[in-house]
Amino acid sequence: MSHPTPNVDVMSVAVQSTLDELGTPLRDVTFVVVDLETTGGSPADCGITEIGAVKIRGGAVLGEFQTLVNPGVSIAPFIALLTGITDAMLVEAPPLRSALPAFLEFAHGCVLVAHNAPFDIGFLRAGCESLDIPWPTFSVLDTARIARATLPRDEVANCKLATLAAHFHATTSPTHRALDDARATVDVLHALLERLGRLGVQSLEELSGVTRRVSSAQRNKRHLADNLPDSPGVYLFRDHSGRVLYVGKSRRVRSRVRSYFTASETRRRMTEMIAITDRVDAIACSSDLEACVRELRLIVEHRPAYNRRSKNPERVVWLKLTTDAFPRLSLVRGCRDDSDRGAAYLGPFNSRSSAELATEALLQAIPLRTCTTRISPRSPQGSACALADMGRCGAPCTGQQSTDDYAVLADLARHAITVDPRPVVEAVQQRLTQLVADERFEDAAVWRDRLSSFIRGAARFQRLASLRSLDQIVAAAPTDDRGWQIHIIRNARLVAAGTAARGADPHSLIEALLLTADQPAMPPDDGAAVEEAEMLLRWLEAPGTRLVHLSGDWCSPALGAGGLVQQVVVTPTRDPEQMLGRPTTGWSTVSRPIATYRSNA
């Protein structure tokens, strides 16, 4: 039998409390961090096999407790494998009637702490009931709940003890033995207290409130929304130094901001953000679309720590057909207007892997070179690669393929990307047919994904290019109160917005907006601009939107990829017919209309 280690006394130091520490200061609280090993997951039919605990105060270890417990039943093999505790080890261990009172004496007057506390405390309470021992009135803290309320989701994959111990570099690793796990939990608790201390959590009462749905500190900041407009707009949470913590949008800014200080806000990272918020600013907008665009631009500008989307527009990639003498496919971060020199683009793609899938689909149909070496048409050099031996490349590097012959392939690739993707679709379909016939369904699924990525990338670029080619769009949409929302778009950027009230002449507002609208120097080429352009397209395609004025021709290729997006199977399947998708014959040659055009507002 293992015995409790004696308590280690520490000298108590009298410290003058500040007004910020009303309650029980955490440095004066004695915690007992406990962990149990059991024969199963339910205290109703399972028993305790080991108790481990560590007593701490003010960051110092005061004592440890560890004992095996004879549960009176045999341990299941998988439990023995998990914990390393066997029936033989428990033969001479004390029964629960001896071990549990010893632990309760060790933990008397302390605050119990456990990771996933309902499990451990549930077994301890059940043990007290079985022995007719009154359960002491312990305060209980759960480090798992504290971690979920404190750590952003993008900081740790989960809040398991092993994950948190590794994340905080605990001195003891969890081993599914009670004392080791309790020691690891101590390190996790100290790391969480350090994190919360920077947020102003100094007392036991404040620490207990961290896991509640609404803390008093959260409710007390509702006044930050009092002077905000209750109309469409964008709001910015800022800390005491003015740094932007979070950007959001709403049709009713004041009501939305107030909800952050109520029980309706359940996101853990928002609780942490609110704790360090000093003020909330608002920018009034004339329409929901303007609010969406302003929110996106502010997120890209400030990159707030508590926003998740749109902060890294540079991560998107395009697939480019280069302008070399022997063009090749290259992954690039920006899309520029160099089509006059023979460049063509596919995308953008949200990840490099998606772009690589599209590359494989295109190369299946058109044997472009894959090497990155710059090839001179006048002095070819080098030796042919393996792809040339396989018939997948004409080996222009060795002079076996002339610039004129290679130009034919480049033109086919350019046409497939910008106008008609059917040659690529037909080539991949043939490959799919053979793979399905050979019952190589996993390989067929890979080629299906490659085709899907190519079609989606081509459709996305063709759709965006049609909007970016227009110098100016003036469009209007009806409001709920029978007024008009007016938006002016230039080069796929929102440059002016306004709302004409019911009964007012919208043309007067349009004239005023045209006089004050910005003029973008050139079409943007980053991921944020793409996201903004897609917002504008969704609004332009919405029912009721009317075109007032259009400068240029707004059109998409009749045989473009837009009509094929819904016809390419993108969900996993082992059905041969679904794997192949619809046959290439019979596809519509006219893509879906971009919008319902009306001549006036």
Which of 108, 169, 176, 240 is labelled catalytic?
176
- Rounded to 5 degrees, what are φ and ψ at 489? -120, 130
The two domains 19-210 and 216-311 share their CATH topology (first three levels equal): no
Strands 317-321 and 329-332: antiparallel
Q: How far apart are alpha carbons 578 and 571 in whole angstroms?
A: 9
pLDDT tens for 402-441 read 778 888 888 888 888 888 888 888 888 888 888 888 888 8
Please count the other Cβ atoms lying within 10 Å of the Cβ belonging to residue 55. 23
Confidence of residue 383 (pLDDT cuts 50, 70, 90): low
Residue 291: pLDDT band with limits 50, 70, 90:
very high
Please tell me the distance from the alpha carbon of residue 417 to that of residue 370, in angstroms, as a whole number: 17
Residue 471 pLDDT grade (very low, low, confident, very high; cuts 50, 70, 90): confident
pTM surpassing 0.75? no
For 295-350, the pLDDT digits (tens) are 999 998 898 988 887 666 667 888 888 888 888 888 887 777 666 566 888 878 88
Cβ neighbours of 117 (radius 10 Å): 17
Q: Which two tokens stand for residue 321?
A: 């057909």
Count of alpha carbons within 13 angstroms of residue 104, beta-carbon side: 18
Fold (CATH) for 19-210? Nucleotidyltransferase; domain 5 (3.30.420)
CB 3 within 8 A of CB 64: no
Tokens encoding 271 = 């609780």
Residue 98, CA distances (Å) to 55, 85, 93, 95, 184 in order: 20, 19, 10, 6, 26
Q: State mean pLDDT over 125-146.
A: 92
| Res 173 pLDDT > 90 | yes
pLDDT of residue 600: 33
Residue 176 annotated among the catalytic residues of the structure: yes
pLDDT at 315: 74
CATH class, range 216-311: alpha beta
Q: Contact, 564 vs 421, CB < 8 A?
A: yes
Structural domain boundaries of the chain? Answer: 19-210, 216-311, 315-424, 470-552
CA-nearest of 114, 74, 69 to 95 is: 69
pLDDT band for position 586 (cuts 50, 70, 90): very low
Note the pLDDT of residue 461.
Answer: 85
Q: What is the largest CA-CA distance in the chain?
A: 96
User: Which has more pLDDT, 481 or 338?
Assistant: 481
Q: 135 — phi, psi (to 5°)? A: -75, 125
List the beta bridge partners of residue 31.
56, 111
Tokens 């004239």 locate to 511
**Which neighbouring-strand residues pair with 473?**
489, 550
**Per-residue pLDDT at 274:** 87
For residues 321 and 415, the answer to whether their CB atoms sit within 8 Å is: no
Query: Is the pLDDT assigned to residue 106 strictly greater than 90?
Result: yes
> Is the pLDDT at 445 greater than 60, yes or no?
yes
> What is the spatial distance between Cα 495 and Cα 507, in angstroms, rounded to a whole number?
17
Whether cis (ω within 30° of 0) applies to the bond prior to 152 is no
3-state secondary structure 449-518: HHHHHHHHHHHHHHHHHHHHCCCEEEEEEECCCCCEEEEEEECCEEEEEEEECCCCCHHHHHHHHHHHCC
Can you read off the two tokens belonging to residue 461?
């670029």
